Structure 1
Amino acid sequence: MDAITNGLQWFVNLGASVMLPILLFIFALILKIKPGKAFKAGLTIGIGFIGLNLVIGVLTKNLGPAAQAMVKNFGLHLGTIDIGWPAASAIAYGTVLGSLAIPVGVLTNVVLLLFGLTKTLDVDVWNYWHIAFTGSLVYIVSDSFALGLFTMVVHVMIIYLLADMSAPAVQKQYGLKGISFPQGASTPGFLLALPLNWIMDRIPGINRIKLTPKTIQKRMGIFGDSSVMGLLIGLIIGVLAKYSIAKTLQLGVSTAAVLVLMPRMVSLLMEGLSPISEGANKFVKSRFPGRDLYIGMDSALAAGNSTVLSSALILVPLTLLISVILPGNHVLPFGDLATLPYMIAIMAAVFGGDIFRTIIGGIVDVVASLYIASWVAPLVTASAKAANFNLQGNSSISVLSDGGVWTTWLIVGLGKIMTWGGIGVIGLVTLGIMIWYNKFRKISTKKA
């Protein structure tokens, strides 16, 4: 068992740029795509991910210090530090329970696909750290290894369900044919965005505001161009960080570069994914007539969208401000400020690319996330100690992007209060909705 776990961990540690091309190459061969074409598709995906990571690296490298400077300038003193998803994933995979997340997630995915209860074939196995995270927290609460495993199954079922439900909006908004986002920090935003969109549709005045990149460019001319918008946002953040003129200008140009380069890297990634996605749908339709298949990918594919990135950059100073004035919050946003595009990626799709609505939705999401991250902080800290994670002098840590989403509150909260009964109820409700969504909903639609 240890050999298998160590082998899986070694494979995951290769990183998405190596791991995904290998997985997708094997998958393409299973779909009977010609070896040469399959190899080229996998390699292109790897190159696209390297390009994507380089651009995200530029954003993180420049935004991280700016955020730190803003924290210092505003004199923020909150007791719990947001360590960010990279550290959180290390903690999640660092426990014995967390190391089993990948086989648990893959097996659950296969079973649900065989029974027609999900359309998402999840190849983004790295992001199973999200279920490792909640599983580890429930294990800390309950001291039950079996309940921790069961929690991971239930959580990944929720993620697949939300990925399926949000896929049409994601594909329409981002032009990602046959793609869904089974990403634990993104999918919860779908159910948050739906009622917010409904409410804003019915508020006089608000329902007439349409701020998409196209409408902004039409009204503002050159100032509405994505590169110029990136420059202006970067300059504003530089000023708030009290940077020198030189550093402010550098941040502005770097932010502009991210807004321009990110979509091009995503296009390269999609160039490699297209033949695999088409092959998967042909394979499924030939063996399961009437069924569609989505390729589950990281929501990083949407992070470079003008609406997503512009809204996320505007939300950075707003998040810091909210953390100070929010009563009862004790989490200092830091590590996950650069992860805001992932948190709002699916929300932006539900809002049809509207920047105004995405910012409003992002504010609501940040408020909820700060409260949940504050509540879950003691469990995250305990889990970090169990994984022998170096707290670097921080007595209390949490995670904004994943520790703060409503799925964490629901799963860990009921796990804490009701243990097996609470998690079991969530699992049964999720399974019931899956059956309705993939079975009876089709029947009722056809009859109608």
Structure 2
Amino acid sequence: METLLSFVQYFVDLGAAVMLPIVIFIVAKCLGQPFGKALKSGISIGIGFIGIGLVIGLMLNNLAPAAKAMSANFGISMNIIDIGWPGSSPMTWASSIALVAIPVAIAVNILMLVLKLTRVVNIDIWNIWHFAFTGAIVNIATGSYTLGILGVALHAAYAYKIGDWFAPVTEKYFGLEGIAMPHGTTGWFAPISVPVNWILDRIPVIKDIDFNPEQLEKRFGTLGDPAIVGGIMGVIIGILADYNIRGILTLGIQMAAVIILMPQVVKHIMAGLLPVSETAKAVLQKKFKNSTFYIGLDCALLLGDPAVVAASLLFIPVTIFIAAIVPGNQILPFGDLPTIGFFIAMAVGVHGGNLFRTLITGSIVMFMTIWISNQMIGLHTALAVNAGQITTAGAQIASLDQGGSPITYILTQIMHTTNVTGLAIIGACYIFCVICTYFWHKKQVAEQVQEGNVALNK
């Protein structure tokens, strides 16, 4: 058993860029794809993830110092640095819960498929770390390993339902047919966009406001081109950071590069995943006739959308501003700023690429995640100490991704209540959004069925 756990740990430690190609290759072969085609799919995914890492690295190395400079420039004092998902995921995989989390999440998926509680077949093994984080935090808070495993199972089950509910958006807006996003970051904030969209649809004048990359390009011509929009955003951030002319222009060119390069590297992931997804869908539908399945994949696939990239850059200064107004905030957004697109990607789809609406939803999302992250500082720090990543007495850490997850917060508070008011407010608001999403999903499915019938009648 110990040898098996050591092997699993070694496999996980390979990282997403190596681990996922191996998983995809094995899945492709199990589905009957030729060796060469399966190998090409795996390598394409590896290339895509290496590319995403390089682009995110470009953002992290240049935007993070700019964000810090902005904070200093505006006198914003925050003494705890957001370490981001690159810092949180390794300590999660090092926890005692992590190795059990993978079989637990897979078992939950299989059970839900058998009981017809989901149509998502999740092959995104790497991002099970999100579920493991919840389990590890619950374990630390309660001292119960059993409750920790329950936390993993509940988060996994919820993620698979989120994949189901937002699959129509993934197909309709992002054009990813047969693919779902049971992702632990994109998933848990997606429901907030649903009631926001419903409310905005009913406000005169406001409901007609629509800013998206295509419209900007049509309205402003060349000035609306994504590369120029990215460059302008980079320049604005550089000005807010009080950079000199060289620094401002350099940041502008770097962000123009990001907005152009991100869709290109995502294409490699899609080139690897889509053939496997189509084969898996065909095999499942052949075996289970009259059933529809979605292949659960990493939401990195959504980051190539121009509106998602534009929103990601927009939210760099917006998140810094929100951090300054969240009551009692101690956290300086840093590590997760380059990956802010994961937080709002599905909201972009729900809002049809409308950046104005995405700004409203995203602001609510970031306010909530920063507030929750502050409540989780103690538990997050304990997780880091257990993983041996903090050795300095009194040091504290936090992260927006997962550290600011409402699912993790609500489950932890239910099992070990320390803030009744916080649980009541966050719980009530979030459950309301989830209920709205459930009925919205039913409407989306009904519209899809009607469209299908119309197409058949034609």
- The equivalent of 2:410 in structure 1 is 410
One-letter code of the match for 2:371? Y
Structure 1 residue 161, shift from structure 2 partner: 0.7
Deviations 1:197-237 (A, max 9, x none): 10111111110001111111111111111000000001111
- The equivalent of 1:262 in structure 2 is 262
Find the aligned partners of 1:128 and 1:76 in 2 and give their Cα distance.
35
One-letter code of the match for 1:321? F
Structure 1 residue 357, shift from structure 2 partner: 0.7
Q: Is the 8 A contact 1:80 1:374 kept in 2?
A: no
Q: Is the 8 A contact 2:186 2:342 kept in 1?
A: yes
Find the aligned partners of 1:361 and 1:245 in 2 and give their Cα distance.
33
- Correspondences of 1:89-108 after superposition (within 5 Å): 89-108=89-108
- The equivalent of 1:282 in structure 2 is 282
The answer as to 2:329 corresponding to 1:329 is: yes
Moved more, 124-133 or 224-233: 124-133
- The equivalent of 1:245 in structure 2 is 245
Structure 1 residue 394, shift from structure 2 partner: 6.3
Deviations 1:23-48 (A, max 9, x none): 11111122112222222222222222
Find the aligned partners of 1:192 and 1:48 in 2 and give their Cα distance.
29
Find the aligned partners of 1:393 and 1:203 in 2 and give their Cα distance.
52
Q: 1:17 to 1:80 in 2, by over 3 A?
A: closer
Deviations 1:48-84 (A, max 9, x none): 2222222222222221221122222223222433221
- The equivalent of 2:228 in structure 1 is 228
Structure 1 residue 268, shift from structure 2 partner: 2.2
- Correspondences of 1:130-145 after superposition (within 5 Å): 130-145=130-145
- The equivalent of 1:302 in structure 2 is 302
Q: Is the 8 A contact 1:49 1:269 kept in 2?
A: yes
Structure 1 residue 99, shift from structure 2 partner: 3.1
Find the aligned partners of 1:25 and 1:131 in 2 and give their Cα distance.
24
Find the aligned partners of 2:344 and 2:91 in 1 and give their Cα distance.
24
Structure 1 residue 356, shift from structure 2 partner: 0.8
The answer as to 2:185 corresponding to 1:182 is: no
Deviations 1:3-31 (A, max 9, x none): 22221121122222221121111111221
Q: Is the 8 A contact 1:141 1:416 kept in 2?
A: yes
Q: 1:391 to 1:237 in 2, by over 3 A?
A: farther
- The equivalent of 1:33 in structure 2 is 33
Find the aligned partners of 2:269 and 2:383 in 1 and give their Cα distance.
35
- The equivalent of 1:374 in structure 2 is 374
- The equivalent of 1:387 in structure 2 is 387
- The equivalent of 2:148 in structure 1 is 148
- SS of equivalent residue, structure 1 residue 295: strand
- The equivalent of 2:311 in structure 1 is 311
- The equivalent of 1:339 in structure 2 is 339
Find the aligned partners of 1:395 and 1:18 in 2 and give their Cα distance.
32
Find the aligned partners of 2:58 and 2:329 in 1 and give their Cα distance.
30
Structure 1 unaligned blocks of 5 or more: 423-429
Q: 1:274 to 1:231 in 2, by over 3 A?
A: same
- The equivalent of 2:112 in structure 1 is 112
Structure 1 residue 353, shift from structure 2 partner: 0.9
- The equivalent of 1:427 in structure 2 is none
- SS of equivalent residue, structure 2 residue 308: helix
Q: 1:233 to 1:393 in 2, by over 3 A?
A: farther
Q: Is the 8 A contact 1:164 1:180 kept in 2?
A: yes
Q: 1:394 to 1:74 in 2, by over 3 A?
A: farther
Q: Is the 8 A contact 1:81 1:394 kept in 2?
A: no
Find the aligned partners of 1:46 and 1:83 in 2 and give their Cα distance.
24
- The equivalent of 1:365 in structure 2 is 365
- The equivalent of 1:353 in structure 2 is 353
Alignment size in residue pairs: 431
Moved more, 371-380 or 48-57: 48-57
Q: Is the 8 A contact 1:339 1:401 kept in 2?
A: no
Find the aligned partners of 1:76 and 1:125 in 2 and give their Cα distance.
38
Q: 1:230 to 1:413 in 2, by over 3 A?
A: same
- The equivalent of 2:45 in structure 1 is 45
- SS of equivalent residue, structure 2 residue 342: helix
Q: Is the 8 A contact 1:320 1:333 kept in 2?
A: yes
Find the aligned partners of 2:401 and 2:120 in 1 and give their Cα distance.
22
Moved more, 210-219 or 109-118: 109-118
Deviations 1:332-353 (A, max 9, x none): 2222112211000111111111
Q: Is the 8 A contact 2:285 2:291 kept in 1?
A: yes
Q: 1:370 to 1:391 in 2, by over 3 A?
A: farther
- The equivalent of 2:78 in structure 1 is 78
- The equivalent of 1:425 in structure 2 is none
Find the aligned partners of 1:405 and 1:385 in 2 and give their Cα distance.
20
Q: Is the 8 A contact 2:373 2:399 kept in 1?
A: yes
Structure 1 residue 393, shift from structure 2 partner: 6.9
Using the aligned pairs only, state the percent identity. Answer: 40
Q: Is the 8 A contact 1:229 1:310 kept in 2?
A: yes
- The equivalent of 2:87 in structure 1 is 87
Structure 1 residue 414, shift from structure 2 partner: 0.9
Moved more, 213-222 or 116-125: 116-125
Moved more, 125-134 or 68-77: 68-77
Find the aligned partners of 1:124 and 1:337 in 2 and give their Cα distance.
23
CA RMSD of aligned residues (A): 2.5
Q: Is the 8 A contact 1:118 1:164 kept in 2?
A: yes
Q: Is the 8 A contact 2:127 2:183 kept in 1?
A: yes
Structure 1 residue 392, shift from structure 2 partner: 5.8
Q: Is the 8 A contact 2:102 2:125 kept in 1?
A: yes
Structure 2 unaligned blocks of 5 or more: 424-433, 454-458
Q: Is the 8 A contact 2:162 2:187 kept in 1?
A: yes
**TM-score, normalising length from structure 1?**
0.90
Structure 1 residue 134, shift from structure 2 partner: 1.1
Find the aligned partners of 2:99 and 2:387 in 1 and give their Cα distance.
11
- SS of equivalent residue, structure 1 residue 121: strand
One-letter code of the match for 1:180? A
- SS of equivalent residue, structure 1 residue 397: coil
Structure 1 residue 328, shift from structure 2 partner: 3.0
**TM-score, normalising length from structure 2?**
0.88
Find the aligned partners of 2:391 and 2:253 in 1 and give their Cα distance.
34
